[in-house]
Homo-oligomer: A and B are copies of this chain.
Amino acid sequence: MKNKYFDLVTLKFLLFQVHNVEDLLKKERFKEYDKTSIDIFIDSVKTFSDTALFPFIKEMDENPSYFKDGNIFIHPQFENILKNAGEMGLVGAMNDFDDGGLQLPSIIFNAAYFIMEAANNHVPGYIGLTAGSANLITSFGSQYLKDTYVSNMLDMTWGGTMCLTEPQAGSSLSDITSMAIPTEEDHFMIKGQKIFISSGDHQFSNNFVHLVLARIKGAPSGIKGVSLFVVPKLRPAENGEFVYNDAVVEGEFEKMGQKGYCTTHLVFGEKEDCRGWLVGEPNKGLSYMFQLMNEARIATGRMGTAIASAAYYSSLKYAKERPQGRKLNRSGKKNNEEEQTLIINHPDIKRLLFQQKAMVEGSLSLVLETANYLDKEKTSTTPEEKEKYNLLLELLTPIAKTYPAEQGIKSTSDAIQILGGYGFCFDFMPQQYYRDIRIIALYEGTTGIQSLDLLGRKITMKNGKAVALLASEMQQTIAQASQDEELKPFANILLENMGLVQKVNKWLIPFAIKGDYERYLADATVFMDFFGTIVMGWQWLKMAAIAKLTMKNGDGNQSPEFYKNKVQTMKFFFTYELIKTKGLAKTIMNDEELTINATDEMF
C-alpha cells in the first residue's frame, strides 16, 4: 500500500453499485458515456493524481504560497499541474459539449475531484474555483462575457475566483459594502476590498476573472441590494490587448494549513480605475452566487472527506508496519516473552481505524449522493421530479458540507493518535492533514451558518416537504435492508432514529411558528450533529444493503470479504456513532434556554 490515499475499489462500488451511475448514463445528457469510458476517465485522474499531485503535498506545506512585490507566488509544480488539468478537461468537466466541456455528470466530476483532493488538497481549489466561476458566467452572463472570458478559463490559462467576504462582512453577506457605480458605458466602476479570496492570484495565470459581489449605488440595503460583477485583473482594451484594471493583490493570509493554496486580500478601485461588468440583472447577485456557492459547499465537504481519506491511509500504513506491545490474549495477560505485535492488532488501534474508515466512506457516499441529486435534478423530465431532486439536494447540501468538516477534525486527529508521538512530528503526514482539514468547517459558510441553513431554511422549506422526501428515501433503504436477517436490527435502529427526528421536529417547530426564531435556532448546530449523524446512518445502511445484495446475487467483481467489510463498518458506525443521537435529541429538547439566557458578563 505504497502511498495509498484513497480506495479506488470503494469509490467504484459507491459509483456503480450504491449510487447506480449506469442508470444515470442512460439519460440523454450523458449518453455518450458508458461504464468503460467512466472507468477510463476515473483511472486517468488517478494516474494524474499519483504522479503530479500526491508527490508534492508535503513540499507545498513546507513552501507556502507567498506575497512579494504585489504578486502571489505558488509552488513551481503548479505550472505543470494547471496546464495538465486544463488539457484533461477537468475545468469544464461538467459543462456542455457545446461550451467546450466534457458534459460529465456531477457525481463523476465530484469523484474525480475527490481523488485529486485526497492526493493533494492544496491543488484542486485552483481548478474547481475556475470551473465554478466559468459556470456562473456561462449560466448567467451576457454573450459578451462568455465570449471574452470562458474559453481561457476552461483551459486554465486564466484563473477564476469568487469574491464574497469583506473585512467587516464575513458570515453576514447582507453587510457587503463594495460599491459599483454605473457609467455611461457597459461597465461599472468598482470600489471595495475582499478578503480570504482563495486562488486570488499567482504567477501561472495570465489573468484572473474575479466574480465580485457589490452594491450598485443606491441599491436597497441587505442582500436584496447585492449584485454580481465580473472584475478581471486585466481588462480588454479596444485594441484587443488586456490592460491594468486596478484590481490588485494587497497581501496573503498566512494560515496553519492548506498552505500551498493561496488566500488573498484583493483591493478593487483604489486608483478609481477598476471596471466591472454586471452579470445578469441588478440586485440578484446573491441568487446567482448561490449556484456556485451550493456547488462549493458540496465541494468543501468532498475536500474534507478527501483529506480524512489521505490521513486514514497514512495512519493505516503506520499501523501495519509498527510493532509495539503484545497482543492481549483471550485467556490471560500479555506475555513479554512473545515478539512485539504490529499495533494494528490492538483493538483500540482497530477502533481508531474503524472510526476513520466509517467517517471517510460514509461521507464520500453522502457527497456522491448529493451530487447525484444534482444530476437527477438536471436530467429530470417532469416538474415534480425536478422539484423532488432539487429539494433533496437543498436539504442534503449543508449536511454534506458539515459532516465531513466536523467529523474530519476528529478523524484526522485519530490518525495522529495512531502514530503516537510521531503523529505530532513533521516527518509524518497526519499532522499536516490535521492542520489542512481545520479550514473545512470555516470555508463557504461556517458550521454555525450551515446549521442555521439546515434548521432555519431547509427543514421548514415548503412545509417540510424536503424532510418528507428524504424520509421516503430512507424508508426505501430500510425496506430493502429489512429483507436481510443480519441487517434487520440495524434497519430498525434507523427507523427508530427517524421517529426521533419527528419527535425533535415536533418539539422545535412550534417555536418557529410562533416567531421565536432565537429559541428555534439556538441549538441549530446540535441539531446538525443529530440530523447529520442519522443521515450518515442511512448512507451506511444503504451501502450495507447493496453489499449484501451483491454478495447474494454473486454479481460483484470483488471478493466476499470486500462486501462483508462494508457490513462490518456499518455495524461499527451504528454501534459507536449513531448511538449518540438520543443524547443529542435530549440536549436539543431541553427547557433551560441556557445559551439564550447567558449574558456576556457570564464568560
Contact = CB atoms under 8 A, between A and B. Distances in A.
A515 B331 contact: yes
Interface stretch (A77-85, A94-102, A111-119, A171-179): A171-179
Contacts of A319: 600, 603
B448 A424 contact: no
Contacts of A254: 425-427
B587 A434 contact: no
B172 A348 contact: no
Nearest to A598: B350
Contacts of A326: 172
Contacts of A600: 319-320, 342, 344-345
Contact of A441 (B417, B442, B446): B417
B170 A347 contact: no
A513 interface: no
Nearest to A447: B417
A351 B527 CA distance: 13
A468 interface: no
Given A328-B521, A515-B332, A525-B351, A426 B171 contact: no
B602 A565 contact: yes
A40 interface: no
Nearest to A524: B348
B354 A594 contact: yes
Contacts of A603: 316, 319, 344, 350, 353-354, 357
Nearest to A322: B170
A218 interface: no
A595 B354 contact: yes
A416 interface: yes
Contacts of A329: 517-518
A324 B170 contact: yes
Interface string A579-603: 1111110110010101111101111
Interface stretch (A292-300, A494-502, A567-575): A567-575
Interface stretch (A184-192, A271-279, A333-341, A367-375): A333-341
A196 interface: yes
A561 interface: yes
B435 A174 contact: no
Contact of A592 (B172, B434, B523, B575): B575
Given A518-B328, A568-B598, A348 B583 contact: no
A47 interface: no
Interface in A58-93: none
Contact of A337 (B221, B416, B572, B580): B221
Contact of A522 (B223, B347, B572): B347
A171 B435 CA distance: 25
A451 interface: yes
A326 B517 CA distance: 12
Contacts of A324: 169-172, 175
A590 B446 CA distance: 35
A558 to B, nearest CB: 12
A39 interface: no
Given A421-B442, A522-B347, A579 B587 contact: yes
Contacts of A452: 348
Nearest to A430: B256
How many protomers of this protein does the assembly include? 2
Nearest to A425: B253
Contact of A602 (B328, B568, B576, B598): B568
Contacts of A601: 561
Contacts of A525: 348, 351
Nearest to A416: B438
A517 B328 contact: yes
A365 to B, nearest CB: 18
A517 B336 contact: no
A370 to B, nearest CB: 23
A581 B421 CA distance: 29
Interface string A230-267: 00000000000000000000000111110000000000
A330 B516 contact: yes
A169 B518 CA distance: 54
Contacts of A170: 324, 420-421
A191 B348 CA distance: 33
A221 B526 CA distance: 51
Nearest to A165: B421
A281 to B, nearest CB: 21
A427 B265 CA distance: 14
Among A316, A328, A423, A597, which residue has the most Cβ atoms of chain B within 10 A?
A328
A69 to B, nearest CB: 21
Contacts of A328: 517-518, 521
Contacts of A255: 424-426, 431
Given A320-B600, A603-B344, A424 B330 contact: no
Contacts of A519: 330
Given A348-B524, A350-B596, A423-B442, 12 more contacts: A165-B421, A171-B420, A172-B326, A254-B425, A330-B519, A331-B516, A344-B603, A348-B525, A409-B413, A435-B435, A575-B590, A575-B592
Interface of A: 165, 168-172, 174-175, 195-196, 221-223, 253-257, 316, 319-320, 323-334, 336-337, 340, 342, 344-351, 353-354, 357, 409, 413, 416-417, 420-421, 423-427, 431-432, 434-435, 438-439, 441-442, 446-448, 451-452, 515-519, 521-526, 561, 565, 568, 571-572, 575-576, 579-584, 586-587, 590, 592, 594-598, 600-603
